[in-house]
Chains A and B, each alone.
Chain A
Amino acid sequence: MDIFLQQVINGLVLGSVYALVALGYTMVYGILGLINFAHGDVVMVGAFTGLALLKALLAAGTGLPIALAGAALGAVLACGLLGVAIERIAYRPLRHAPRLAPLITAIGVSILIQYVAAILWSKQYLALPAAFTPATWQIGGASVTDLQVLIVLLAGVLMAALLWLIHGTKLGCAMRATEQNAEVAGLMGINTNRVIAATFLIGSALAALAGIMVLLYYGVAHYFMGFMLGLKAFTAAVLGGIGSVPGAMLGGLMLGLIESLASGYIGDFTGGVFGSNYRDVFAFIVLILVLVLRPAGLLGKAQGERA
């Protein structure tokens, strides 16, 4: 079995998920200058609502593809509403407050969502119904499942659609204008509050789909799963250059590959002292290196543009 190819495949899958979540961080940061630390928990809510819907639909006798589509749609709606509600209730009243206030609020929202989910569902790991046994193909000594292909393809389509939305539609133009100068955007007749709400809606919808991908890939959901995933996606956004949409995509994929390859080879390099259970370390090594060596990130804007 070819370890390198296998880790590249795994890294691409992981990276696709990171990229989808990183987009939510970077879009909100671009438009509000705020790190929405509750974003990882929106992913968790996506996984939980997706799981609940999936179980209900399968129990009602629905076929697997339709049950999956229904669960994805339901999770997108639930998370979209949640994202818009978070902005409206928690962040908008603090729009002109000192920066520390919304940051601490974001952490508070994150904890609130985690424990509401724990109460609503469970503090235990919830497993996927047994209906899922992905088909496996062998390619050049590595194995790839149909689920992995689906995740990477869907993430690619979503990212292409997002780029089209941002650069090819009126809403996207309004989003970019609001990001660059919200006051002047208002002078152009743009309802900037609505544009900001749309940004949260889009970011949260992507998070919902990422949550379902994680659920299907690992087979479990847990109320705390958004924490580590959120930190890693945030790292990916910083790696690509926070505020940059293509940066979040690139950063997500790179982080997935780095993590996957590093955890695949760490045993060989350290003579078995460290194993792949140290995989979470690499994201934060990357975060520290980026912050020290290139704080603006790979595709980031020059520093100092925003106060």
Chain B
Amino acid sequence: MAEAPSSAPRAPVRPLSPHLTIYKWPITMAMSIAHRVTGTGLYFGTALLAWWLIAVASGPNAYSNFQMLAGSWIGRLVLFGYTWALLHHMLGGIRHLIWDMIVGLDREGREWLSWATVVGSVTLTLLIWIVVYFFTGGLR
């Protein structure tokens, strides 16, 4: 917000330094944000993993309820998103571990690693779902 607050009309309007909305997103910034967003998604998604385990432990009825929900189109959509978030966060984490060793921090290295994160996560997600559908007969 560039305008001065109305409660202080006499405050001088100073120029603001450019912020997130101004810059063209560098890939490193996009992947940094994606890492945090996928991490937050996985945080809540872990409840689904717990729910699945508890359903198996509870018995056939709870398990078939879970199977039914997981097999519905919205369930599959969530699981697809979960798979991508998991792989993206994993590859992003590996990228951070590489950076922790002070490797790949130059412009070329960091941009390559950032692109590799998104390309790798999308490719692996599609591969996994192709395997699931064609080799295990889907989610049924």
Q: Say whether A associates with B.
A: no
- Please report B residues at the A interface, Cβ cutoff 8 Å: none
Chain A residues with a Cβ under 8 A of chain B: none
